Amino acid sequence: MLLSVACLAVVALAFSGGQLPDLGGAELSWTPPPDQAPAVVDAAPPPAAGQRFAPGDTVLNVNPGPVNLRQSPGFQNKPASDVITAIPAGQAGVIAGGPVEADGLVWWQVRFGERTGWMAERSSSGVTLLDRTP
């Protein structure tokens, strides 16, 4: 990176005829004009096209039984230690990330209380596991 900066300095000197402008000790700062200031966004962005959830959405385990919360997306060829815990039916959580496709399923990073892990949107047989809260 230092070499890149040095190359840029040499190019700047070459184009300026070997002279750098005298800034005269002026304090340099830049503030964007009010009409160009970035907007502050309070809410999470809406889901992208084709996605069911967005970060911050509250979801439920709508499966009639518990569903594994995993350390990483996917369920095939994983050690038992990949399962963080089993999330009971009806438990609410918050989408923290995703989606990620793994093992033919769509996975979402979900925070259930103090635990965060990955849960499939649907089971491998097509049963819905995660859905928005009513």
pLDDT exceeds cutoff 70 at 44 = no
Q: What is the pLDDT of residues 93-102, one digit of tens each?
A: 999 999 999 9
Record the tokens describing residue 13, joined without a space: 């000197």
Report residue 107: phi and psi, to 5°. -115, 145
**Mean pLDDT for the stretch of residues 90-118:** 96
67, 82 Cβ separation under 8 angstroms = no
Compute the mean pLDDT over every residue in the chain, rounded to the nearest whole number.
Answer: 78
Q: Distance between CA 127 and CA 112 in Å, rounded?
A: 20
Provide the whole-model pTM: 0.64
**Higher confidence at residue 70 or residue 10?**
70
Q: Is the Cβ–Cβ distance between 67 and 119 less than 8 Å? A: yes
User: What distance in Å separates the CA atoms of residue 74 and residue 78, rounded to the nearest whole number?
Assistant: 8
Q: What is the DSSP string of 38-51?
A: PPP--SPPPPPTT-
Q: E-assigned strands of 29-89?
A: 58-61, 67-70, 83-87
For 50-91, the pLDDT digits (tens) are 578 999 999 999 999 999 999 999 999 999 999 999 999 999
CB burial of residue 87 (10 Å; 0-12, 13-18, 19+): buried
Inter-CA distances, 64 with 87, 118, 130, Å: 11, 19, 11
